[in-house]
Chains A and B, each alone.
Chain A
Amino acid sequence: MVDTSLAQTPHRSWQPALRAALGDPKVLVGGGFIAFLIVLALGADLLAPHDPLAQDLMLGSLPPVGMAGAEPGYWLGTDDLGRDVLSRFIHGTRTALTVAFIAATIAAVVGTFVGLLAGYFGGWVDAVVSRLIEIWMAFPAVLLSILIVAILGSGVHSVIFAIAIIDWTRFARVVRAETMAQRQTDYVTAGQVLGFSRLGILAGEILPNVLWVVLGLFTLELGLAVVIEAILSFVGLSVSSDTPTWGGMIAQGRGIIYQAWWVFALPLAGLLATVLAFNQLGAGLRRSLDPVMQR
């Protein structure tokens, strides 16, 4: 006989977890910066002081305010075409975050789904999935993403697709292992004995317990996706050149680095800070959620 009390899924309550996470300095710093970026992205049209596409050759290569020759109003200077760097950066944030969130979400959903299936059913399903992941990992990520974008043609959709198709394996691998561990636990066994359907057990018992692992991975994935988007737009394979992107600004700034280094430096600083912020947020979430969610 199985003790039916074990059939109660230990529904980990999210409230104490959330409280623990919000008390973590890494979560606060990393999350705070990400929140700031989200505000920039959402409010780009209102917050950007200028039209990011407006050219004015009379105002070309203006340095940031505080340096000799700066124009008031152009806080972080202009590029060689006289476009406002700050405004382009703010609009670039929108592209970066949009691509990152959509791509990471697709990668997470696909990877989690595949990982759940492989981990729960095992057998040939698992064998096929494991082999697939292995082959996938054999391709260099940057090369693969460039290849995919080149095949599909450049553009936001291709970039999102490329990131998702490269990184779903990160989720699949971890979720598969976690699901296998969960399958051994008492409450899942109890659920089986009590006659819950396989799908019911997967969705009702296992999924909620692997979600917190997915959350940590998702945070890291966002940071990676921002970088891949920047790489692709740096190479010129992302969105069309009249949409401002960080990678595009960096590529442009690289060409005029001796005349106007700020065009290069600002998006680079943004990229660096974003990567670090997602990293800190992910590390903080893992640190603070682990003890709560693991009981």
Chain B
Amino acid sequence: MSPLLSIDNLSAVSRRDGKPILRNVSLHVDSGTIHGLVGESGAGKSTISKIILGIVSGGVVVTSGSVMLGANDLVRMPEREKRVLIGSQMALIPQDPLTALNPGRRIGDQLTDSLRMWKGMGHKAAWARGLELLDHVAIRDPQRVMGLFPHHLSGGMRQRVLIAAAFAIEPKLLIADEPTTALDATVQKQVLQLLKRLQAEHGTAVVFVTHDLGVVAQICDAVTLLFQGKVMEQGTAETIFNTPSHAYTRALLAASPRYDDPAAGLNPIDDAVIAACRAEVAQFDGAQHA
């Protein structure tokens, strides 16, 4: 079976100075699996997710490669068709639940947008379904919450609402953009469990963007490690965690808080490893120019 999402040889540069942002990235996500996209800030992980979602800023120019969702190439699709495809088949769980809900619209309206737009539901049917969705993400008194404005809810509650909204149309592909970084540790864990549960129920493919390998270990099936827009290592979660082959992966693992033992402490990433990674990127750029 071919993968649901296939990114092949994707490269992008900055419009301003032409510097590479993505360097020949390929990754494949099968239906029903969670793919961790891991890297430090500036590694290009959020650029990739934005390209998939069609919300990349004008400052980024895709120079080559393709992003296929099934048989459709998102890089080359006409804008209008792309909007419909993304809206009806994908969803985003954003990073910051405090800014991702419109302060001027009621929770119920924001939750049921996609249902009304893509499931052909009327206002009443969508509202009823919204109640179920909230109930399903363990929000108490959904009737009341539907009528509230975002500022009435806590960060954890808002993230639950956003997750419920993301799963509302049963998307084929879900992009989770560091959905737990803005939350505190206990809420973080609950949200991850919730996400995992819903994903399993719906058989959704997920691209999980994060800088936290601990989180990856908890929920991902496959992992792609990025450094300066280049794939450093790629494989199943098992392989990455048990037999990492790239020095960067090993350094990152050593630097992460141990998911099984959070008290173990942090080691900073060795400068030598970073230097080696930079050299690898420079060598790649050299080969491109030659």
A–B contact with Cβ pairs below 8 Å: the answer is no
**Chain A residues within 8 Å of B, Cβ to Cβ:** none
